[in-house]
Amino acid sequence: MAVGRLEGKVALITGGARGQGAEEGRLFAAEGATVILTDVLDDEGRATADAIEGATYQHLDVTSENDWQTVVADVMAEHGRLDVLVNNAGIDFVKKLLATTLDDFERIVAINYRGTFLGMRTVAEVLTKAELPGSIINVSSVAGLQGLANHAVYSSSKFAVTGLTKAAAKEWGRYGIRVNSVHPGFIETPMTVDQRPFTDPDVRSRVEHSIPLRRVGQSEDIATMVLFLAGDESSYCTGQAFIVDGGVHP
């Protein structure tokens, strides 16, 4: 019987109720990992975890320091280790910069950037104290490498995640903690499915034609990259930005 690439590893995935996070959970579990899915969408999260052998669900508001400390402590108490953190939770936001309110700004930054920061810091504190290695994967965006019109706050939050990833990789490499970011392009998920490129066939056709691989991405495309970064095959990769966008940003 083949051994999965994550056999024996424990992985915590935020935003795991649906979309990319759920797909990562399914793939990780299939590769032998013990998976803890977290989200604020409790009903969906429990249903997703119940459908995945080897997965459980726990409520986690990524903007809450107390929630992070509770969840990570629970994982360590039950499993004695935490090998992989996937900071997948995030929200999109489309609005012209001049129309963006301070409340808009603070909401996006709280989830996309503060949530990632809290997760990284909480997990790294535990791992360094226990002298355990680990892999932290932050889901950023191609918008975190190139500014997008009408996405100023979203883009800036993802740029922040990219920078945090690179700085943390330099600080924590000595402890055996790797930190990388994944940068999805145009991906069809529950967060984006209501956008016009997915609802208007003509617009979708034009979008697909603009992508060298001639298709929009799916959650599985991101999950397979995250799997690579979670496993030992990427053991010499840290501080890197991995683009998954069908060739738009070579």
Specify the pLDDT at position 197: 65
Q: State the average pLDDT over residues 68-72.
A: 98
Residue 237 has pLDDT above 70, yes or no: yes
Specify the pLDDT at position 196: 63
Give per-residue pLDDT as tens, 29-41. Answer: 999 999 999 999 9
Residues 70 and 90: their CA atoms lie apart, in Å, by 20
More confident residue, 247 or 239: 239
From the candidates 57, 113, 154, 236, which is the catalytic residue?
Answer: 154
Task: Label residue 2 by pLDDT band (50, 70, 90).
Answer: low
Specify the pLDDT at position 215: 85
Residue 216 has pLDDT above 90, yes or no: no
What average pLDDT does the structure give for the chain? 93
Q: In the sheet where 34-39 sits, what is the strand order?
A: 55-59, 34-39, 10-13, 84-87, 134-139, 177-184, 241-244
Specify the pLDDT at position 186: 80
More confident residue, 49 or 149: 49
Q: State the average pLDDT over residues 153-158.
A: 96
CATH of domain 10-243: 3.40.50.720
Residues 77 and 91: their CA atoms lie apart, in Å, by 30
Q: What is the DSSP letter of 41?
A: -
pTM of the model: 0.93
Q: Are 16 and 59 in contact (CB under 8 A)?
A: no
Q: State the average pLDDT over residues 135-149.
A: 93
Q: State the average pLDDT over residues 167-192.
A: 90
Residue 241 has pLDDT above 60, yes or no: yes
Q: State the average pLDDT over residues 159-169.
A: 98
The helix (H) or strand (E) run that includes residue 143 is none
More confident residue, 196 or 21: 21
Residues belonging to the chain: 250
Q: What type of residue is 187?
A: I
Concatenating the DSSP letter of every residue in 148-198 gives -TT-HHHHHHHHHHHHHHHHHHHHHGGGTEEEEEEEE-SEESTTTTTSHHH
Query: Is 113 among the catalytic positions?
Result: no
Task: Label residue 1 by pLDDT band (50, 70, 90).
Answer: very low
Q: State the average pLDDT over residues 60-86.
A: 98
Residue 190 has pLDDT above 70, yes or no: no
Residue among 188, 10, 153, 174 nearest 86 (CA): 10
Our CA angle for 159, 161, 162, nearest 5°, is 65
Q: Residue 143 burial (CB < 10 Å; 0-12/13-18/19+)?
A: buried
Residues in Cβ contact with 108 at an 8 Å cutoff, skipping those fewer than 6 apart: 91, 93, 153, 154, 157
Measured in degrees and rounded to the nearest 5, phi and psi for residue 216 equal: -80, 155
